Structure 1
Amino acid sequence: MSLSLPRILATTGLAFSLVLIWAGLAGADRTLTVQEAILRAKPAVALIVAEVVAEVRLNCGSGETQFTPPPFRETGTGWFIDAHGFIITNGHVVQPAHTPPRWMVNSFAKRAIESACVPAILKRMGIAPGEQPAAEDRVKRQVLDSVLPSTKVKLDPGIFVVLSNGTRVRAEVKKYSPPLSVGDDPEGKMSGRDLALLKIPGKDFPILPLADSKAAKIGDPIHILGFPGVVLSHELLNQSATVEASVTNGAVSGFKQDKANQPVIQTDAPATWGNSGGPVVTARGEMVGVLTFVSLAPGPEGGIVQGFNFIIPSNAVRDFIQGTEVKVSAESPFNKVWWAGLVEEFDGNYKAAERYFSEANKLVPNLPDVKRMLAEAQENIKNPPPRPFPWAWVTLGVTLASLGSYGAMWGRKWWKNRHRISPSAVIHLLEEGKSPLVLDVRKPSAFEASPLKIPGALYISPEAIDAGKYDLEVEANRTVVAYCTEPDEATSARMAQKLRRMGYKDVKILRGGLGAWANAGLPLEAKAGLPTIGVELYKSMLGGV
């Protein structure tokens, strides 16, 4: 069965609209939920521990002994920037172990003396700890004065990375920039970018892609991931709280410069001790900055003032890692399967999600978020949740139906008018010297009833054209304009089609027929001797045709 051209055009228009919309949907960036954006980032976040262990040799009066006081330990947050074990954190997080300060040696020595020497002396004096504070303080001062000068302290500093699966690995500092100085520092030794690049053995670690911090705008939503001390030491939380990052939410609230005139981003997202070095991620799960310092209230208490925290821009991180082995553009095998699993899970394809999550769990085993999402996918396979009503597809269907209907209407209109020509266009052809042949194809009854016609028009009855009893005596390429007085130019349209079939290539239909010509005020001529008043009367009658 052959299809008419209007139907073909309508179908083609509908198909083209479908392709455009589908291409638009497929090409558009997939919008992430807040949950998915955070889940993309969390596995790449790790707890950083700067630890200094001391071996103290001292003589309390009965010979030299060795004492090991409790280690100095400071925690912060870091994140993988390269799947081959490269981690970014703050310089001040690792500083105590990377460049132990001089005061630390003295602090370890005092603590060792107070723990190893003072209790024994108080016991010999018959004084219980806390019983006579004044006497106890006096003994402490005397012992420190006599023992401290000969005390020897050996430090064993170390920096450790604790992954969210509980694995603790010793890290090496590959590059270090000290924190910004807040006091007098004439040599500038403490004025840096407050960044450190660590390296641990291994590969295929989760990583955080870097966003362009120059594209950040005030009001952009952000999320800070890290290990705040208040959570690590909370008495009501179990050990798992020490390995899984916490998340706080906020927005970009300003763009400032630090004392060294380096750009920093201000945020109102809450942060506290332990968040230092943590990644600040965008709604796409990309790292836009590193938390570096918070704001403290004035006075001796110095509590943290929330809403005024500051971030090192991601572009500064790019500059910092220049000249190192870090490859920012490199992909992580873990990210590939983890992100794919999240896409499938949030799209409701639970079997595919389970496969991807299982693969991610093989690459880096027992990460809490991976285990949780794997269990969720398996549960959804066993007990599928109810699917929401597909409003998006319904909207798409209605849109396509509307576009198809509009396309069909437009196609029919175009098909109907493709050969039609307005009276003014006919005059334009005449002015250009193209001399179209104007053909009067009114039915004999209509032609006889009206004494007027377009000047120079040749009359041929429709019956003559149907029977082939006519001779136009014009070239096949010459423009022919047919007119009638019927609604929708029915007769002239039919005759034009007939003439095109007979070999005349450029046959047009006068839109509106003889009445449109008269309404345009164009000249008409009488077929026979007709008084002027009669001509004008017929012209006015034609105006209503």
Structure 2
Amino acid sequence: MKKRALFTVPISILLIAVIVTSFFLLSLKPNATGISQAQKLSEYSKPAVVRIIDYAVVEWQFNDYYPEVEALLQELDYQTVIGGSGSGAIISPDGYIVTNAHVVEGAKMQEADLANAAFEQLVALVAEHFQVDYNEAYEYMVTYTQYTKVTRALKVILPGGDVLDGEVKSYGAPINEGKDVAVLKVEGKNLPTLPLGKSETIEDQDNIWVLGYPAAAESDLLSPDSSLVSSMNAGQISATSKKTEQGSPVIQLNAAATHGNSGGPVINEKGEIVGLLTFRGDTVNGQEVQGFNFAVPVDTVKEFVNQAGAKNTSSPTDQLFKEGLTLYWGGYYKNALEKFEAVQRLFPNHPEIKQYITNTQKKADDSKILWSDYRTIFYIVDGVAALLIILLMVFTFAMKPKTAVASTQKNTIPDLNGDGKMDIEDIIIALQKQQKEDKKKDE
């Protein structure tokens, strides 16, 4: 047994080392600890944040022949565009979007109200152009101008550049009238999404981030594509129990925000929507004061999501993109590339995917090995190794070597000289006796 053990035990130890090594390699996971939580949230969330443009085109008929006014209206193509823009967040793969009611207020206004608002804008332009009093310009224009047509439009611009028609599915009321929430629907499939959190989890001084398309972040010096990139500003919850004059709950936060941020999501450290930015604090000496902004809490948002018949679910695009980012940040570029290419197949106009595919292709030669891809092979090798260990142990300790059986055959040479023992004399006598018998046979 000892000789066998000298051979089998080292082999068994080697096989055990193989099994331990395989389990260690399989346990290795991408390490993204070098990436800040804010950066992760930004990459996860921005693809689901959209710009919303609600506008109407009012066409005019001018009934006077004052040439200077006629020339101005010709420059305007006898049209006035009225409306505004805001932000929103996609909450379902099939295109449901949450935003503020006041962002899409024009879609719910009466045609005459839109025409009146456009007329006031036109009068202000005429007064400024001709350097006359507003009231004087108003009296003149109301006499000789009337609207002939109002064309509404509600557009949703995705971060990837797609411009989609939006439809209001549920609607609260503008800021000073009630709950400032609206739910829109666009046609889509496998769209990036954001999850809705719970209002009960919001506490004072919680870290939050506001996402959207603030007008203050726009500039003539920026490229046209820059308008597709949302901003994300950090802050904290300042108060959780405030209400509007109409009794609707709001949460106060100190993250910077401005025009265009309205309707944009406020997210927590888990990337969940905890509110929609709705309005800012009062101005001081005519100036906006940052750090005093308010949001509609997420439970209020859910009321309108339910009214619209929408379901807040994530999409395969979300999961694959997050998995790809984790692999990318961990240095597993080849594996990340597979995930990113899968995202592109599901949702070709994902805003970040082309750049990530390019980056992973450039870094592919430096990619780490993701051992979990070889899990099946490891399991087979481990199974064979375990079986060999068992066989070696059985061979070493259970199977005993055969031992020689002691002879029990009695001595066939008799005691011929009568001394009570067999010795050389007995052998000589036996040989002589045999020779005599052989001789007789020959005769």
Counterpart residue type for residue 249 of structure 1 = A
- Counting only pairs closer than 5 Å after superposition, residues 210-225 of structure 1 correspond to structure 2 as 210-225=196-211
Residue 147 of structure 1 is matched in structure 2 by 144
Residue 55 of structure 1 is matched in structure 2 by 59
Verify the 8 A CA contact 1:212 1:314 in the aligned structure 2. Answer: yes
Counterpart residue type for residue 320 of structure 1 = F
CA deviation after TM superposition for structure 1 residue 102, in Å: 5.3
Verify the 8 A CA contact 1:256 1:265 in the aligned structure 2. Answer: yes
| Corresponding position: 1:46 with 2:50 | yes
Alpha carbons of structure 1 residues 156 and 35: separation in structure 2 relative to 1, 3 Å: same
Verify the 8 A CA contact 1:83 1:203 in the aligned structure 2. Answer: yes
User: Identity rate of aligned residues, in percent?
Assistant: 30
Counterpart residue type for residue 318 of structure 1 = K
Verify the 8 A CA contact 2:331 2:368 in the aligned structure 1. Answer: no
Alpha carbons of structure 1 residues 114 and 208: separation in structure 2 relative to 1, 3 Å: closer
Verify the 8 A CA contact 1:76 1:274 in the aligned structure 2. Answer: yes
Q: Secondary structure at the match of 2:255?
A: coil
1:195 aligned residue (157, 173, 181): 181
- Counting only pairs closer than 5 Å after superposition, residues 62-141 of structure 1 correspond to structure 2 as 68-100=78-110, 104-109=114-119, 133=131, 140=137
**What does the per-residue CA deviation read over 1:99-157, in whole Å, with 9 as the maximum and x for residues that have no partner?**
258554234346667889x99xxxxxxxxx76xx46x9898466325314xx2342112
Structure 2: gaps spanning 5 or more residues? 7-22, 370-443
Q: Secondary structure at the match of 2:256?
A: coil
Q: Secondary structure at the match of 2:266?
A: strand
2:216 aligned residue (207, 212, 230): 230
| Corresponding position: 1:241 with 2:219 | no
Verify the 8 A CA contact 1:32 1:283 in the aligned structure 2. Answer: no
Q: Secondary structure at the match of 1:261?
A: coil
CA deviation after TM superposition for structure 1 residue 263, in Å: 2.6
Q: Secondary structure at the match of 2:166?
A: strand
Verify the 8 A CA contact 1:105 1:153 in the aligned structure 2. Answer: no
TM-score scaled by length of structure 2: 0.68
Q: Secondary structure at the match of 2:103?
A: helix
Verify the 8 A CA contact 2:91 2:314 in the aligned structure 1. Answer: no
Q: Distance in 2 between matches of 1:40 and 1:48?
A: 20
Q: Distance in 2 between matches of 1:164 and 1:220?
A: 28
**What does the per-residue CA deviation read over 1:511-532, in whole Å, with 9 as the maximum and x for residues that have no partner?**
xxxxxxxxxxxxxxxxxxxxxx
Verify the 8 A CA contact 1:49 1:74 in the aligned structure 2. Answer: yes
Q: Distance in 2 between matches of 1:325 and 1:138?
A: 48
Verify the 8 A CA contact 1:44 1:79 in the aligned structure 2. Answer: yes
Q: Secondary structure at the match of 2:303?
A: helix
Alpha carbons of structure 1 residues 76 and 100: separation in structure 2 relative to 1, 3 Å: farther
Residue 16 of structure 1 is matched in structure 2 by none
Q: Distance in 2 between matches of 1:342 and 1:381?
A: 15
**What does the per-residue CA deviation read over 1:427-447, in whole Å, with 9 as the maximum and x for residues that have no partner?**
xxxxxxxxxxxxxxxxxxxxx
Q: Distance in 2 between matches of 1:267 and 1:138?
A: 41
RMSD over aligned CA atoms reads 3.6
1:371 aligned residue (345, 349, 354): 354
Q: Distance in 1 between matches of 2:121 and 2:184?
A: 31
CA deviation after TM superposition for structure 1 residue 229, in Å: 0.8
Q: Distance in 2 between matches of 1:113 and 1:297?
A: 27
Q: Distance in 2 between matches of 1:106 and 1:262?
A: 29
Verify the 8 A CA contact 2:170 2:307 in the aligned structure 1. Answer: no
Q: Secondary structure at the match of 2:274?
A: strand
Residue 35 of structure 1 is matched in structure 2 by 39
User: In the comparison of the two structures, how many residue pairs are matched?
Assistant: 339
**What does the per-residue CA deviation read over 1:204-257, in whole Å, with 9 as the maximum and x for residues that have no partner?**
11110112231122222211110001223x121111121111111112222132
Q: Distance in 2 between matches of 1:222 and 1:374?
A: 30
Residue 352 of structure 1 is matched in structure 2 by 335
| Corresponding position: 1:204 with 2:214 | no
Verify the 8 A CA contact 1:84 1:204 in the aligned structure 2. Answer: yes
Q: Secondary structure at the match of 1:321?
A: helix
Counterpart residue type for residue 91 of structure 1 = A
Verify the 8 A CA contact 1:56 1:108 in the aligned structure 2. Answer: no
Q: Distance in 1 between matches of 2:47 and 2:103?
A: 20
Q: Distance in 1 between matches of 2:84 and 2:278?
A: 15
TM-score scaled by length of structure 1: 0.56
**What does the per-residue CA deviation read over 1:438-497, in whole Å, with 9 as the maximum and x for residues that have no partner?**
xxxxxxxxxxxxxxxxxxxxxxxxxxxxxxxxxxxxxxxxxxxxxxxxxxxxxxxxxxxx
Which fold has the larger relative contact order, with Cα–Cα distance below 8 Å and residues 6 or more apart in sequence?
2
Q: Distance in 2 between matches of 1:386 and 1:360?
A: 21
| Corresponding position: 1:160 with 2:155 | yes
Q: Secondary structure at the match of 2:290?
A: strand
Residue 315 of structure 2 is matched in structure 1 by 332
Q: Distance in 2 between matches of 1:138 and 1:171?
A: 37
Alpha carbons of structure 1 residues 376 and 284: separation in structure 2 relative to 1, 3 Å: farther
Counterpart residue type for residue 306 of structure 2 = Q
2:299 aligned residue (312, 315, 319): 315
Q: Distance in 2 between matches of 1:139 and 1:289?
A: 45
CA deviation after TM superposition for structure 1 residue 46, in Å: 0.6
Residue 179 of structure 1 is matched in structure 2 by 174
Counterpart residue type for residue 100 of structure 2 = N
Alpha carbons of structure 1 residues 110 and 331: separation in structure 2 relative to 1, 3 Å: closer
